[in-house]
Amino acid sequence: MIYLQHFGLEKAPFSLTADPQFYIDFIPHKEALEVITTALSFGESILKITGEVGTGKTLLCNKLQQELAEQYLICTIDNAYLSAHELRCLLANKIGVDKAEFDEQFLLTEKIKERLLVLLNEGRKVLVLVDEAQALPDATLEALRLFSNLESDATKLLQVVLFGQPELDVRLADNKLRQLRQRITFSYQLRALSDNEIEHYISERLKQAGYRGARLFSRSVCRKISQASRGIPRLINVLAHKVLILSYGQQDYKITPKLVKEAVTDTEDAYALPSMSKWWLLLASFITLNIALLLWWKGLL
């Protein structure tokens, strides 16, 4: 990255890659992790985490995979166009079903169940993590539901966590997916970050990337990034990254509101920041209105 040496960084602090190393334990992510880990420990079959685009669902999914790797045999599904049979093959491959069995579609589910029972007897639990679940075909979602039905006399043979955009809730409201909807026992909705959380987020990302200098992003700069990003972590990353590039381009170490405004202008989904002239115009209008009201009130006396 062109500005790393300039700012004394070891790695890019605002990469869009969902790297668990850059996970920050904010309230929404912390609560989501607690909901998932607690529900899984209770043996719940299907859990759901939803959030707007860019709120960190994939990062949370990767963090969960990292944290639970010793407790579960994890199958991650990140292909939004996976067919039901492809899902069965992916799961079968992950848990060690003989590939020669894959062509027998009608028998594959039974082979998967047999293998899951073997794993259970060995003390190994299976967890399926589904990213971008809102885009999966209905038949694939139904296949997941059917897998969640597989159980021994005492416990579920596998557990599922769905990560999706709000459109997932819209789809689940459809009557044809009501059986899946009823199987979801715990849910959590990720929210955007607050102003204070954004300040901490930017500071922590820089620290994790190796920055050790004086504060780069002032409170006023963070507030403007907050306004433009609406608290969405992905947009925060995009804007902060562009601001660092702009500062480096000027061979400067100072991050200013002006640079944020330039970055916002160049970012499609960012909210435009009000210009200073508009603020002054509003202030002037407010003062004029108050003077007029004062004169009118005195005229009544």
**Would you list the DSSP string of 28-52?**
HHHHHHHHHHHHHHTT-SEEEEE--
Does the pTM surpass 0.75? The reply is: yes
Residue pLDDT, tens place only, 168-182 = 999 999 999 999 999
Given pLDDT bands bounded at 50, 70 and 90, which one contains residue 301?
very low
- Domains of the chain plus CATH, in order, are 4-11+193-270 (1.10.8), 27-189 (3.40.50.300)
Q: Is the pLDDT of residue 284 over 70?
A: no
Residue pLDDT, tens place only, 234-283 = 999 999 999 999 999 888 888 999 999 999 998 988 888 766 445 555 65
Q: Is the pLDDT of residue 59 over 90?
A: yes
- Asked if residue 186 lies in contact with residue 35, where contact means CB atoms within 8 angstroms, the answer is yes
- Asked if residue 89 lies in contact with residue 102, where contact means CB atoms within 8 angstroms, the answer is yes
Please report the pLDDT score of residue 279 as a whole number. 53
Q: Which helix (H) or strand (E) holds 163?
A: strand 158-164
Please report the pLDDT score of residue 272 as a whole number. 82
Query: Which residues are CB-contacts of 268 (< 8 A; sequence separation ≥ 6)?
Result: none
d(CA 236, CA 193): 10
Please report the pLDDT score of residue 252 as a whole number. 85
- Of 70-74, 149-153, 227-231, 232-236, minimum mean pLDDT range: 149-153
- Of 59-68, 166-175, 291-300, minimum mean pLDDT range: 291-300
How high is the mean pLDDT of the chain? 89
Give percent above pLDDT 70 in the chain: 89
d(CA 1, CA 192): 28
Residue 88 is encoded by which pair of tokens?
């069965």
Query: Which residues are CB-contacts of 11 (< 8 A; sequence separation ≥ 6)?
Result: 1, 4, 209, 210
Please report the pLDDT score of residue 2 as a whole number. 81
Of 112 and 276, more confident: 112
Give percent above pLDDT 90 in the chain: 72
Given pLDDT bands bounded at 50, 70 and 90, which one contains residue 44?
very high
d(CA 144, CA 221): 45
What is the rounded average pLDDT of the residues 78-94? 91
Of 171 and 298, more confident: 171
Please report the pLDDT score of residue 288 as a whole number. 63
Residue pLDDT, tens place only, 209-224 = 999 989 999 999 999 9
The number of angstroms, rounded, from the C-alpha of 263 to the middle of its chain's C-alpha atoms is 22
